[in-house]
Structure 1
């Protein structure tokens, strides 16, 4: 339809019809076991008419179901307006790729775009129109469960991945076959939750908000994302969902977002619990004035907006504007011409979880793995040695994360299944050794999916088998780590270590075999002090997804050389968090202080993380030259070329990620001690050398000053190029306007 036709359609709709377009409810309202329309849940407080006319649903997928719902809906819709179908597709639909935190570790934007494109194809075939992804929230606190949905702690890296994922989901036209609308979330600063506790409030200065947290959202908006989701938290003391300054001034006016703004799950109603709205009527008024177009899973708009307009307390133009944006999105998706878009029962059977998509998942997983330690070059494994795989992830299909809700663990390849194709059966054993979680850990609220208790006598038997196997082995590979339900929404943790039942196993194995290779499964940075001190090697594989087992074996055996880099610092202790490499300096920085006591430090642990942002080892060694600058003066009209020579001085082909960092030494507001500004990957054969160069221009120097203006300022700058954020490979230059 033409825009003029959409505008005319809005003008002839009744007020109630328009408000119904702004209601989103769960798909199960429409389906029972026989697949017929049913009434709403009683406690939501919406009518059957609201259900019949709701403009969108979430959480339901599969082509047959959604085709059925759309058909029934269109039969009742007086203006033949199609319904929008949305769902959380975080890191794959049926083919599950590594989670965003792991994709961030690849530093491979092309890979992220490809993974999002495959997810879009599988989602659209399954009947979906909008995916609630990417989550671009910047996070410095590993206690926060939703770390796994973010690409990490750095605004530049997160911005790059936000753009890549939006392009992957939407392409250049979301209405084309196999494309969906992307939804940037959660606006804004959701990752800054105090104490890492999910749904908690956020306290950030305007300087930190603008210079660190907002950039990834803007990158997603500039990439063309058709939807943005509000966050649960407060910003400047006002819940984001009813924060007019945040949504209208910053998102709409400053960033130029003209798409659909949707609340998170019941977030408008939750402003009452915040103590900001006294009742649902006030919450509805504040949310529509803030510019929220769709009320997800609450009755606040449906039950209150008609009355507010009729009483003159809300301008109906606000309703018209919101509905116009919703209908324009449906039009961009081509739903007026084809309400079912790409939904296909037949293609859902043949074009989902294909051999090609599995191949991509395998590559993405292996590229995301971060080699944290490799003493005595114990990796790659010598297949001639006796090897024991001991740990609860040895033959475990649950490696797709708690937010891969559309995937199925049964489709995953386990480490044992993959290893049996490569390792000799007479030199290799596989033992679980322990459950993933001990009986002391209770995952409350997770329903039937929560792990069942394992009797103590069975655990003791598992331990005896493991110790016996370790004694006979020359190398022990230990696949251990978090339970997949310990990361994700509502999984904040006060202690971020490997479950104690597994640590007990680790300690017992270490008593009888010193050659331990830990394969770490996790959705967040963990406290790895004990593991790092004891194990010969540590390979972080995150929650690797559908092809996880094959990817792990590829890297353990050297078929693939690990190249992942940490997108988030691994703390020395949970007492350090929140922690990040790009922190602000203090007046008494420990590294520059002549007084060992009166400086900014801990007295019981170092300031530095155990493993810093950007860190990751390889099976080969790279030699990086001193930084060379084409000039020591940068101007508005003349950039500087910064370069290094990189040589593979090892014995195997490998890929290194060169990272460029800048520091504004003296500015009108305090700037971070170091900021990532660019990165490049280079693959080299043994003995091969290459020059890697970066163009440094004025745009890289910009920041938001105390007056809220985006500026660059004359002065001195430090520049580093290295393979981790703690690189010392520095040069300096001066910027003159």
Structure 2
């Protein structure tokens, strides 16, 4: 017994040593040789990321004297420029005019396509199609690298459960399981199997961490969250990206446990590197090093040292590392070894890209002319956009419309080219987007289209000015609202059916675009009411970058097609669905609240000790509201089709399983309608009793299937051992024996139910 007690600490030491060494990367001889030649100043220069401006910035600061800094060896990477000529010139400065000729790499925000713009990420996630999402990333990488870009600030994998936060548009919604699958698909799509290939690029997962949970839904705001919630609900998509081999990580603007993420050693070193084994490099977000001063963490020298010692490798635009680290070394605040380690990770990334072998690998004017915005890519963008749309309601089965109908096409977004691409499309060209009226004419040339704008997106000029910061997204018409509304009524009265295109302008969601009122603007509500009052069948085509509160519209006798911001082929894709050339198959990846008072609301909320007996019932001394139901307006996973699907005969392969065993869950799905269609079969799990209070249900599997009309399929989803695990109060990833409930169905609320037991 005594011998065992003596050996135990030694065994633990060996296990820790083995784990630590497993995380260490084999040194790259070429990198180590280069490090041996570098001065301290040259190492610090590699940690500096700058932008000369000219593109869409994410802050008020633009780097100065960029050319001179490159030639002085004070720049490691550049972003905000594109095109073979410009990038070649900058690369020549680095290679030919610095002492060691270390090449730059070139970054960009390619969030949902480079020149070929796809739907916003929230829209893409609604496809629930990992092959599609991976292909979007692959095409994005192919086009971007053809224009000289080799580092992408994407994917954004922040879990977002507060739709007031504008950047919900950039992510995959509220669920960590789905978000993890999408993170992996995007990383693999960007990076491919070989980073030295000229059509692949470094991905950068962001924003590490918890950025999607700001207090009050206000961008850049503080985040306050316990470790259990972090590990079980918010961290999984970042971890999935790390496991997929993502080469870089970007820090977030918010604090974590009271320390800004950019200077948080627990986050960047203990969790990211030591626990998860990440071997790539970490870059700050735009000026987030310098912004730690406003957080109250010290002056520029102090926050720069804090960031480096925490595990940051590259400083985006603040230039705090560039201008203070040498002084901090002299004062023994940081060591040259810490700077060398950061520099090593930057150089290793350049080596993996093949830049030391050929600094001009990504500079090929022939590729730029041949591979960007091809007709094939535009065709793919059209197909993928259609697959992202979610049919929220089909009143009296108005949809799909006949191609010979008389159609009143009204609304401020029906002929708005500048609002099709969506937020965070700095490399797209709005002028090349297909408007909705153009799409209708392309797809249904025999239809009689009576167009009227009907209303402005908003009438408030000051509000419009804030939204138009990157160009005109809201055009306030010179005609009065009354005249525009009368024109829309006249168009409706002369038509068989009304298609009303309403929602958000592009920059009403996205970065620095938080809203406290996420309903459709009142100007557009008046238009919708007027169209319904005509007595004609009404279809709402709803465009937004976030879930909206639409209880009034949902109760009206209208059909509603949610199209997000669909990208460059927006009009054609919308017409394809409206006229039935494609049967919609999208499903929501964020819960839609009844009003902002329900926020946060999401499908995996925990039960309380005083749950309501039904979501719609009010009971005193139960967890509910006086004025509204607990239930969302539209649940997670919801989406209709032009056909119908029936679920039956839910079974598990075993009633009892042991630890480490898989479990098959099967269900019969039948297309009972009159059209071929696709359905997303969703599996949810509930751990009935466990040591940490469980969510009511959690998504743990899904499969997208195609069924011809009348066809029946037996669909099998497999639960893996890790699907039963969670982080307990000791932050151990464990499964506990006991009963589990299994739910399978068409959305998170409409499911069949069975169960099984995990044996001790």
Superposition TM-score, scaled by structure 2 size = 0.93
- Larger mean Cα displacement after TM superposition, 228-237 or 71-80: 71-80
Pairwise CA distance, 1:48: 4.6
SS in 1 for 2:322: helix
CA distance in 2, matches of 1:20, 1:52: 6
Q: Counterparts of 1:129-168 in structure 2 under 5 Å?
A: 129-168=150-189
Q: Counterparts of 1:442-521 in structure 2 under 5 Å?
A: 442-444=464-466, 446-447=468-469, 449-451=471-473, 454=476, 457-521=479-543
Shift in CA distance, 592/414, structure 1 to aligned 2, threshold 3 Å: closer
State the partner residue of 1:615: 638
State the partner residue of 1:324: 344
Pairwise CA distance, 1:637: 4.7
Shift in CA distance, 688/592, structure 1 to aligned 2, threshold 3 Å: closer
Q: Is the 8 A contact 1:232 1:267 kept in 2?
A: yes
Shift in CA distance, 579/41, structure 1 to aligned 2, threshold 3 Å: closer
State the partner residue of 1:73: 94
State the partner residue of 1:590: 612
CA distance in 2, matches of 1:531, 1:514: 15
- Larger mean Cα displacement after TM superposition, 488-497 or 375-384: 375-384
State the partner residue of 1:261: 282
Superposition TM-score, scaled by structure 1 size = 0.95
Pairwise CA distance, 1:592: 6.4
Answer yes or no: is 1:207 the counterpart of 2:228: yes
Q: Is the 8 A contact 1:437 1:483 kept in 2?
A: no
Answer yes or no: is 1:649 the counterpart of 2:669: no
Answer yes or no: is 1:243 the counterpart of 2:264: yes
- Larger mean Cα displacement after TM superposition, 2-11 or 711-720: 2-11
* Counterpart pick for 1:532 among 544, 548, 554: 554
Q: Is the 8 A contact 1:438 1:499 kept in 2?
A: no
* Counterpart pick for 2:51 among 21, 26, 33: 26
Instruction: Encode CA deviations 1:338-384: one digit per residue, 9 max, x unaligned.
Output: 11222222321221000111111111100100000001110011234
Q: Counterparts of 1:117-516 in structure 2 under 5 Å?
A: 117-275=138-296, 277-398=297-418, 399-424=420-445, 427-440=448-461, 441-444=463-466, 446-447=468-469, 449-451=471-473, 454=476, 457-516=479-538
* Counterpart pick for 1:715 among 718, 730, 738: 738
SS in 2 for 1:106: coil
Pairwise CA distance, 1:715: 0.9
Shift in CA distance, 455/100, structure 1 to aligned 2, threshold 3 Å: closer
Pairwise CA distance, 1:421: 2.6
Instruction: Encode CA deviations 1:654-680: one digit per residue, 9 max, x unaligned.
Output: 101000100111111111111001100
CA distance in 1, matches of 2:553, 2:272: 44
Instruction: Encode CA deviations 1:631-654: one digit per residue, 9 max, x unaligned.
Output: 211212533221110001101101
State the partner residue of 2:718: 695
- Larger mean Cα displacement after TM superposition, 504-513 or 291-300: 504-513
CA distance in 2, matches of 1:454, 1:171: 45
CA distance in 1, matches of 2:93, 2:724: 55
Instruction: Encode CA deviations 1:173-210: one digit per residue, 9 max, x unaligned.
Output: 11112111000000000001111100000011111000
* Counterpart pick for 1:600 among 602, 619, 623: 623
How many residues get paired? Answer: 727
Shift in CA distance, 446/452, structure 1 to aligned 2, threshold 3 Å: closer
Q: Is the 8 A contact 2:745 2:752 kept in 1?
A: yes
Pairwise CA distance, 1:698: 2.3
Q: Is the 8 A contact 1:636 1:697 kept in 2?
A: no
- Larger mean Cα displacement after TM superposition, 184-193 or 492-501: 492-501
Instruction: Encode CA deviations 1:90-119: one digit per residue, 9 max, x unaligned.
Output: 000000011110111000000000010000
Q: Is the 8 A contact 1:248 1:290 kept in 2?
A: yes
- Larger mean Cα displacement after TM superposition, 193-202 or 427-436: 427-436
Pairwise CA distance, 1:511: 1.6
CA distance in 2, matches of 1:52, 1:323: 13
Shift in CA distance, 29/52, structure 1 to aligned 2, threshold 3 Å: farther
SS in 2 for 1:356: helix
Where structure 1 has 5 or more consecutive residues not aligned to the other structure, the ranges are 31-39
Answer yes or no: is 1:673 the counterpart of 2:693: no
Pairwise CA distance, 1:425: 5.1
Pairwise CA distance, 1:28: 3.9
State the partner residue of 1:101: 122
SS in 2 for 1:691: strand
Instruction: Encode CA deviations 1:617-636: one digit per residue, 9 max, x unaligned.
Output: 00001110031122211212
Pairwise CA distance, 1:319: 0.6
State the partner residue of 2:659: 636
Pairwise CA distance, 1:415: 1.4
RMSD of aligned Cα (Å): 2.1
Q: Is the 8 A contact 2:467 2:474 kept in 1?
A: no
Pairwise CA distance, 1:445: 7.6
CA distance in 2, matches of 1:378, 1:51: 66
Instruction: Encode CA deviations 1:33-78: one digit per residue, 9 max, x unaligned.
Output: xxxxxxx979899985787531111121122111111112222221
Q: Is the 8 A contact 2:468 2:474 kept in 1?
A: no
- Larger mean Cα displacement after TM superposition, 552-561 or 529-538: 529-538
Q: Is the 8 A contact 1:20 1:50 kept in 2?
A: no
Q: Is the 8 A contact 2:51 2:66 kept in 1?
A: no
Where structure 2 has 5 or more consecutive residues not aligned to the other structure, the ranges are 1-25, 56-60
Q: Is the 8 A contact 1:186 1:230 kept in 2?
A: yes
Q: Is the 8 A contact 2:154 2:205 kept in 1?
A: yes
Shift in CA distance, 350/459, structure 1 to aligned 2, threshold 3 Å: farther
Pairwise CA distance, 1:442: 3.5
CA distance in 2, matches of 1:125, 1:152: 31
State the partner residue of 1:34: none
Q: Is the 8 A contact 1:50 1:302 kept in 2?
A: no
CA distance in 1, matches of 2:308, 2:644: 57
Q: Is the 8 A contact 1:45 1:299 kept in 2?
A: no
Instruction: Encode CA deviations 1:443-490: one digit per residue, 9 max, x unaligned.
Output: 438536144663563443322211101112221011111000101100
Pairwise CA distance, 1:556: 0.6
